[in-house]
Structure 1
Amino acid sequence: MNAEAAIRTARGGLGQYGFDKDAPIELVKYRENYVFRLTSETGDGYAIRLHRAGYRTDAEITTELAYLHALAEQGLGVSQPVATLNGDFMCVVVSEDGTVFQLDVLRWVEGGEPLGDITEAMSGESSLDPGAFRRLGVLTAELHRRTSFIGRGAAFHRQAWDAEGLVGVSAQWGNPLALQDLGQEDAALLEAAVEKLRHDLAPLSKSADRYGVIHADLTPENVLVGDDGKMVLIDFDDFGEGWHLFDLATILFFFQPHPLYENYREALLEGYGSVRPFPDGFLQSWELMLLARGLTYLGWAASRRGDEAAEYIVERVVPMVLGLAENYTSKSFTSAAP
């Protein structure tokens, strides 16, 4: 389905939210979902998400939106979902060829700009101040504190970023070993790293001070910064349960080549720890989480060859992951206490 057909499909659900079906809509992003910006008659902006057919169940999307609503109600800087006229956070629409899509609406973050850019992070050109990472550490800790309070009840339907979800046979983002263009030695190194990770991640503690509901995709593009400096977390499409440290590792993953990486890491952990003190052994798993994060990107790219983002991963991220794998497989690991 091309962008024009996607817009026509999305318009089919606007009435359920009280919007004019002819309201101005523009394509903002397409990756897993189509994301459009709608401008209402009052001039307010909204993000319209048309989900990829079959990618998420209704229950999974409803869980995401209910969580976002609860977090926003508590004053946390997150995307704010908009309910339909019937009070639901999601509706279904049908495309011209009869395909059923899920659609939801979020309030647009006015004036918000991404915290950073992956390519600038990787190239070392990012001019971010460590103070930005301290503030992000505070916000991430607040997220984890509040999601721990909300908990995971019977209505929680999301994936787990645990050992199986990260590097298991049915890993959430695919098999990193399926990536083409790996040489024999590199493939063998990754295979050994994956096996070791499965062994080392499995016994990691899942106590509430280490594991819970996480964002799972806290890249610099998914953190918006307003004119007032306030940060807002967006794109919870991959949120689920997992280790809190995985969120922190994701924040810094692409900044590893940056000359200020250690300063950024120190600031991030300082900010996080000021809200949620680290339990004993919490940071022992840092290298595991960095490598696990990197392997998920390789798995994602393996099934999307030809995509611009996938090719960037093959060119720039694969060498970094190989370096992490070589360092990791040469060491022994002691898991944090349960």
Structure 2
Amino acid sequence: MLDRSLLTRLGRPFGFQADELRWIRSSQNHVYECGSPDDPAVLRVSSGRSRTLAEVEAELDWIENLARQDVPVCRARLSSEGQRCHVVSIDGKDYLVVCFDRAPGRAVEIADLTPEFHARLGEVTARLHAAVFDDRTAAADSTSARAPWHASRLLNGDIERYTAASVGGFRAAARSLVARLAPQVEHRLGLLHADISFSNVFVDDGRLTLFDFDNCEHGPIEQDFATILYDSIYCRLLNRVPADELAARIGERWDAFLAGYRGVRPHVEIDADLLRQFLILREAIIYTHYCRTVDLAAVRESFREGMDEMRRNVEAGATPVLDVTA
């Protein structure tokens, strides 16, 4: 959480005082709920993670473009000065502040995660992809300010900074995988959310709304699919179903997702080998995220063992999500 005196200055461009900002979470950004029950909003504060004003403006341009195409997303609001993003400099540090509409409804719960619900996520994902890949003229030129997938800080600075030097094999395997993938997908790139999961979706009477586009970047559709398959299917089932049922349950939810997706984009071609490789890359990203955010000395031994297995998977070029077809 940010200091109260900071919050007063950061919320001011959008008309909010510190006591009107209710902390939600702090990870890559500091996120606060604000506004009234009739007009809820979310204030996002970015600092210290190498995000530039041009990149944020490109993100907001894309969100606005998607909203105009009826993709369910959360628009950015204008400040009292007519700006979507304010750079607030305090004690030599820049904070990038954006206020978004709050997604209608509530967070996704375990009880929601039926095959039908995964089909709805497939539909929303397909609508987002269609807005980019099926109409190349629709995207604003400014979105070129977003990096290509292989230039992401998650795959470069974070791996070098947050993983231990003793796991040099992991670092080398991740770099090698990126180097192999880059030429394979060079002509398949479009702007992606790059972090679609049930953590970044709200549900309102069965309707889903996407938010948190902070990691959006240019990549192939298999990258988004790998994120969804890993984060919203595999990880949601792991340790919740018997091991001998895991593959079948993953397949059931993945098939439902694809059915929803192909209801919107029936002729899309998904490269199964690219999907497999991006699944390995997703595991590398999540492993690095844990290295950055988790105090490994304070977690259970079983968690550390799970992380060791993730590292070994990446080093071996293996994926825990087996027998999934595209």
TM-score range, shorter chain: 0.7 to 0.9
1:145 to 125, 130, 137: 130
- Find the aligned partners of 1:279 and 1:91 in 2 and give their Cα distance: 39
In structure 2, what is the equivalent of residue 73 of structure 1? Answer: 68
2:108 to 104, 114, 131: 114
In structure 2, what is the equivalent of residue 267 of structure 1? Answer: 256
Q: TM-score, normalised by structure 2?
A: 0.79
- Find the aligned partners of 1:144 and 1:35 in 2 and give their Cα distance: 26
In structure 1, what is the equivalent of residue 197 of structure 2? Answer: 219
2:29 to 27, 30, 33: 33
Does the CA-based 8 Å contact 2:13-2:79 persist in structure 1? yes
Does the CA-based 8 Å contact 2:65-2:139 persist in structure 1? no
Does the CA-based 8 Å contact 1:301-1:313 persist in structure 2? no
Percentage identity across paired residues of the two chains: 23
Q: Which stretch shows the higher mean deviation, 256-265 or 146-155?
A: 146-155
In structure 2, what is the equivalent of residue 60 of structure 1? Answer: 55
- Find the aligned partners of 2:265 and 2:311 in 1 and give their Cα distance: 29
How much has 1:27 moved relative to structure 2? 0.7
How much has 1:29 moved relative to structure 2? 0.7
Question: What residue identity is the alignment partner of 2:117?
Answer: A
- Find the aligned partners of 2:159 and 2:307 in 1 and give their Cα distance: 16
Q: Which stretch shows the higher mean deviation, 230-239 or 68-77?
A: 68-77
Residue correspondence of structure 1 range 162-311 to structure 2 within 5 A:
162=150, 165=152, 171=156, 173-175=158-160, 178-179=163-164, 188=169, 190=170, 193-194=173-174, 196-207=176-187, 210-226=188-204, 228-254=205-231, 255-256=233-234, 257=238, 259=246, 260-277=249-266, 279-280=268-269, 282-306=271-295
- Find the aligned partners of 1:135 and 1:317 in 2 and give their Cα distance: 31
Question: What residue identity is the alignment partner of 2:72?
Answer: G
Does the CA-based 8 Å contact 1:115-1:221 persist in structure 2? no
- Find the aligned partners of 2:203 and 2:178 in 1 and give their Cα distance: 36
Hey, which of these two has a bigger chunk of helix by percent?
2
Describe the superposition over 1:274-324 as per-residue Cα deviations: whole angstroms up to 9, x where unpaired.
Answer: 222455562232210100111112233334452899999755354245346
- Find the aligned partners of 2:148 and 2:303 in 1 and give their Cα distance: 23
- Find the aligned partners of 1:161 and 1:305 in 2 and give their Cα distance: 24
In structure 1, what is the equivalent of residue 79 of structure 2? Answer: 84
Does the CA-based 8 Å contact 1:72-1:80 persist in structure 2? yes
In structure 1, what is the equivalent of residue 9 of structure 2? Answer: 12
- Find the aligned partners of 2:171 and 2:97 in 1 and give their Cα distance: 39
Say which SS state the counterpart of residue 236 (structure 1) adopts. Answer: coil
Q: CA RMSD in A?
A: 3.3
Give the direction of change, closer, same or farther, for the CA distance of 1:327–1:62 in structure 2 (3 Å limit).
closer
Does residue 47 of structure 1 match 2:42? yes
Describe the superposition over 1:137-156 as per-residue Cα deviations: whole angstroms up to 9, x where unpaired.
Answer: 11111111113333362553
Does the CA-based 8 Å contact 2:43-2:99 persist in structure 1? yes
- Find the aligned partners of 2:280 and 2:181 in 1 and give their Cα distance: 11
Question: What residue identity is the alignment partner of 1:21?
Answer: Q
How many residue pairs match? The answer is 303
Say which SS state the counterpart of residue 144 (structure 2) adopts. Answer: coil
How much has 1:328 moved relative to structure 2? 3.6
Deviation above 4 Å: which 4+ runs of structure 1? 164-167, 278-281, 307-315
Q: TM-score, normalised by structure 1?
A: 0.77
How much has 1:239 moved relative to structure 2? 0.6
Does the CA-based 8 Å contact 2:58-2:142 persist in structure 1? no
